[in-house]
């Protein structure tokens, strides 16, 4: 595991690089450019190996995975302001600079997709495309209460991760899956709560900026993920050129591991 330093605030970002750039060919050519994979809330870069993305993409491309701040092995500041979107975007740019990638294909799930929309707005020169898996250009007030349970941020702050998981199970009426429980217990509860607080205040990328972007875009959402499916259709109306793939029967949690998600992204990249 390597680390890059965000020059704006010194936060350390953990990353890994798989495969290698071709010995010949322009690294800015979409056919040869690296792919950066960015995970969702409370997860880590490990999902991309676990769900087979690294194994599938690395034989022909350099694949870069990273832990966003507050997640995995990256720095875990406890102040909400440390999770401003411009800092999270700068985390990704710091990793790209560390590996020497001038331009990449970005693939993001949930939070990672939201970072991708902001990255495309702030640094379009660093992106050859972005793929949004269950994502949207903005978060919105109350989104975590809807994803997890009402009062979930307060639960993190007062009961730590064990208290959060207990309340989540009580609200859902069934145990949290072992793998999910393990991923959450590996997180810093105060850092996650700080990120959630700031995320709900983030205005996101304005519609006119999304509509005016020239970065090629792929939209992927599950048919059982109504909030993100609506968001995908909204973005599609702003960007009629963007393909929209609906994953049959997929919930938000299912999206990156759905059997049609990876092939849809691979086809999109191959067509550029």
Domains of the chain: 2-139+203-271 (3.40.50.1820), 140-201 (no CATH)
Whether 158 contacts 138, CB under 8 Å: no
Tokens 């730590």, residue located: 160
CA quadruple 38, 157, 147, 117: dihedral sign: negative
Tell me the helix, strand and coil percentages in the chain, rounded to 5: 45, 15, 40
Q: Find the helix or strand (DSSP H, E) in which 109 lies.
A: strand 104-109
Q: In the chain, how long is the greatest CA-to-CA distance?
A: 56
pLDDT in tens, 189-214: 999 999 999 999 999 999 999 999 99
Give the global pTM.
0.94
What pLDDT is recorded for position 30? Answer: 73
- Phi and psi (nearest 5°) for 163? -65, -40
What pLDDT is recorded for position 251? Answer: 94
Q: For the chain, list residues with pLDDT below 70.
A: 21-28
What pLDDT is recorded for position 81? Answer: 97
Name which of 132, 138, 135, 163 is nearest 149 in CA terms: 163
Quote the CA–CA distance of 151 and 137 in Å, as a whole number: 24
Whether 54 contacts 13, CB under 8 Å: no
């Amino acid at each position: 595991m390597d680390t890059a330093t965000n020059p704006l605030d010194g936060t350390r970002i953990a990353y890994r690089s798989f495969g290698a750039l071709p010995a010949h060919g322009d690294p800015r050519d979409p056919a040869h450019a690296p792919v950066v994979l960015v995970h969702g809330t409370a997860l880590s870069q490990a999902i991309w190996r676990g769900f087979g993305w690294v194994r599938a993409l690395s034989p022909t491309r350099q694949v870069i995975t990273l832990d966003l701040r507050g997640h995995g092995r990256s720095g875990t500041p406890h102040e909400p302001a440390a999770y401003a979107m411009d800092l999270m975007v700068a985390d990704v740019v710091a990793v790209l600079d560390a590996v020497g990638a001038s331009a990449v294909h970005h693939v993001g799930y949930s939070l990672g997709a939201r970072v991708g929309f902001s990255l495309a707005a702030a640094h379009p020169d660093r992106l050859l495309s972005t793929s949004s898996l269950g994502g949207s250009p903005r978060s919105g007030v109350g989104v975590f209460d809807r994803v997890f349970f009402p009062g979930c941020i307060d639960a993190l702050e007062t009961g730590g991760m064990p208290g959060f998981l207990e309340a989540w199970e009580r609200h859902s009426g069934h145990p949290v899956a072992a793998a999910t429980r393990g991923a959450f217990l590996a997180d810093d509860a105060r850092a996650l709560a700080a990120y959630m607080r700031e995320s709900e205040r983030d205005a996101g990328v304005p519609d006119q900026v999304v509509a005016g972007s020239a970065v090629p875009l792929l939209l992927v959402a599950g048919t059982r993920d109504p909030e993100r499916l609506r968001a995908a259709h909204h973005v599609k109306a702003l960007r009629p050129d963007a393909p929209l793939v609906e994953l049959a029967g997929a919930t938000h949690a299912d999206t990156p591991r759905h059997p049609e998600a990876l092939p849809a992204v691979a086809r999109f990249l191959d067509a550029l």
